Amino acid sequence: MRILVTGGAGFLGSHLCDYLLAKKHEVICIDNLITGNIENISHLSGNQNFHFIKHDVTEYIFIPGALDAILHFASPASPVDYLEYPIQTLKVGSLGSHKALGLAREKKARFLLASTSEVYGDPQIHPQTEDYWGNVNPIGPRGVYDEAKRFAEALTMAYNRTHGIETRIVRIFNTYGPRMRLNDGRVVPNFISQALEGKPLTVYGDGSQTRSFCYYTDLIEGIYRLLLSNVDTPVNLGNPVEYTIREFAERIIQATGSASQIVHQKLPVDDPKVRRPDIGKARKLLGWEPSVALEEGLRQTIEYFSGRR
């Protein structure tokens, strides 16, 4: 297939490009490099099946020739990023999704939207199932990301129903691994970088809030299965094994052999108290579930960060 990946120089986007190329597809990567990193795809330079275009997807997207699929991953994805770029985050979720869906319609290409567990907000049901509509503060600081993705999902389904576009929606839960930025602001790079430097690990609130962590290789495999499936409604992808943030901090200290202590700071506004996917739909319809244990995933991620200090 000939596949376009928007946001292809980001953490997940670049790994997706690698995976698709390994499957012998031709890959066109678009990224404006606001939060993406050209180093993530530099190893693909010279690959005749890989093409990079520096472009903002909120502007008109021109791709000559046929396209079989568009995977829309363009967006700031960490609180640090979408709080620094709130308007750009809203624009890429709305205008960027509109441009990418318009291209999919023109090319008669299958469209896969990278959505997020953040559409559930601070959830009132646990674990989160795809039929839960969420509990989101639309005017809070996190709302720029949450509502951008919720709008993108609504727009994707509108194109599906109105124009007959083949669409897929993946709701991505916390994912980690190599190519995350040290200053990403998400819990995994935060804790690992603090532990490697012997600094205190910053836990917000009392640390009783929960998260689940999926290694990137598992997630990418699930995304590919979803792309090839006939499932046109949202699908959760993530690891259903749940940890409190304090437990996770202790795991990082143990895995790095650090002497770091844990310190507590004020909980950010609208920070979710729980976050864990119900992956029953992915198991049933995609035959997918994560296989990489936390210990192994952390070992590889710590090794990556250790080499970049």
For the entire predicted model, the pTM comes to: 0.96
Q: How far is CA 260 from CA 194, 195, 257, 289, in A?
A: 8, 6, 9, 33
Q: Are residues 138 and 50 in the same domain?
A: yes
pLDDT of residue 270: 78
Helix (H) or strand (E) holding 236, with range, is strand 235-237
Query: What does the pLDDT average to over 254-264?
Result: 94
Q: Are residues 65 and 153 in the same domain?
A: yes
The answer to whether residue 61 is domain-embedded is yes
- What is the total count of domains within the chain? 2
Query: What does the pLDDT average to over 78-106?
Result: 96
The answer to whether residue 252 is domain-embedded is yes
Q: Are residues 154 and 108 in the same domain?
A: yes
User: How does pLDDT run across 140-156, given as a tens digit for each residue?
Assistant: 999 999 999 999 999 99
User: How does pLDDT run across 202-237, given as a tens digit for each residue?
Assistant: 999 899 999 999 999 999 999 999 999 999 999 999
Q: Are residues 197 and 131 in the same domain?
A: no
Query: What does the pLDDT average to over 45-49?
Result: 96
Q: Are residues 83 and 111 in the same domain?
A: yes
Coil, strand or helix: which one is 117? Answer: helix
pLDDT of residue 183: 81
The answer to whether residue 181 is domain-embedded is no
Q: Catalytic residues, which ones?
A: 145
Q: Are residues 7 and 68 in the same domain?
A: yes
Q: Are residues 248 and 199 in the same domain?
A: yes
Q: Are residues 200 and 142 in the same domain?
A: no
Query: What does the pLDDT average to over 263-287?
Result: 92
Q: Are residues 78 and 12 in the same domain?
A: yes
CB 300 within 8 A of CB 177: yes
Which CATH number goes with the domain that contains 252? 3.90.25.10
Query: What does the pLDDT average to over 275-291?
Result: 97
- Residue numbers of the domain that contains 268: 187-209+242-275+294-306
Q: How confident is the model at residue 309 (pLDDT cuts 50, 70, 90)?
A: low
Coil, strand or helix: which one is 105? Answer: helix
Q: How confident is the model at residue 120 (pLDDT cuts 50, 70, 90)?
A: very high
